[in-house]
Amino acid sequence: MKYIKTYHIFEKAVPFADILKPETQQGLLITQKADNIKLILLYDFDDKKILAYAQLRKWSDKDNFWQIDSTAAEKDYGPDLYDLIMMSVYPEPVRPSSTIKPDAQNVWRFYDEKRSDVKKTRITEDDDDYEDAFEDDSHSGEKDDPIILNLVNTKFSLRPTSALTNLIKNGEEFLKTYNITKSKIFASGKKYFWKRYG
């Protein structure tokens, strides 16, 4: 079962320039647990605090896209997290799940309608991976709203910027400076998600 908390789309994002200020000591960590699972974590090394966490998955060996299993973020870091997710898997896209809660619908509508820098690739009814229905609640059954179906049948891509490169570089440097392992930080990532949303 997938759990996605995305209320943060209505937040004002923390500018990447602020996240990258030397005094913040924040860095991005990315790891791949298997060919089909990727973890992304934005960490404040000075405060020893997770700022944002996501688990991505490919559900099939044939998939040329990623889907989000779970996300959690501190206030105002949610929008940054979604940008980092898309940039970190580029050139592969991210596709919304066919189990798309109302808050997740808001996220993808924002990217679809407001973000001209995000590439949208539509999946048509002629494509093998086209979804003709979606679920917005585990008890409500399938729905066929054309606006939401359009989102479910869209792959979203965001070309990486220097912010991604610099945040990854910071993450690697701070791991050494603070003498902490990536695995230890990621072990706390899942706990962070369940503590907030479990």
CB 48 within 8 A of CB 125: no
Query: Is pLDDT above 90 for 154?
Result: yes
Query: Percent of the chain scored above 70 by pLDDT?
Result: 89
Query: For the residues of the chain, what is the DSSP string, one character each?
Result: ------GGGGSPPPPHHHHTSGGG-EEEEEEEEETTEEEEEEEETTTTEEEEEEEEE-SSTT--SBEEEEEEE-TTTHHHHHHHHHHHHTTS-B---SB--HHHHHHHHHHHHH-TTSEEEEPPTTSTT--S-EESSTTT-EE--HHHHHHHTEEEE----HHHHHHHHHHHHHHHHTT--HHHHHHHHHHHHHHHH-
Residue of higher predicted confidence among 2 and 196:
196
Query: Percent of the chain scored above 90 by pLDDT?
Result: 63
Residue of higher predicted confidence among 28 and 146:
28
Query: Is pLDDT above 70 for 152?
Result: yes
Burial annotation 29-60 (CB, 10 A radius, 16+ → b, else e): bbeeeeeeebbbbbbbbeeeebbbbbbbbbee
Give 42-52 pLDDT, tens digit per residue: 999 999 999 99
Burial annotation 13-27 (CB, 10 A radius, 16+ → b, else e): bbebeebbeeebbbb
**What pLDDT, on the 0 to 100 scale, is given for residue 140?**
67
Query: Is pLDDT above 50 for 117?
Result: yes
Query: Is pLDDT above 70 for 141?
Result: no
Give 50-76 pLDDT, tens digit per residue: 999 999 999 888 889 999 988 888 989
Query: Is pLDDT above 80 for 196?
Result: no
Distance CA 106, CA 148 (A): 10
Amino acid at 73: A
Model confidence, pTM: 0.87
Average pLDDT, integer, range 12-18: 91
Tokens 């997710």 found at: 85
pLDDT mean across residues, the chain: 88
**What pLDDT, on the 0 to 100 scale, is given for residue 103?**
77
**What pLDDT, on the 0 to 100 scale, is given for residue 110?**
92
Query: Is pLDDT above 60 for 9?
Result: no
**What pLDDT, on the 0 to 100 scale, is given for residue 40?**
96
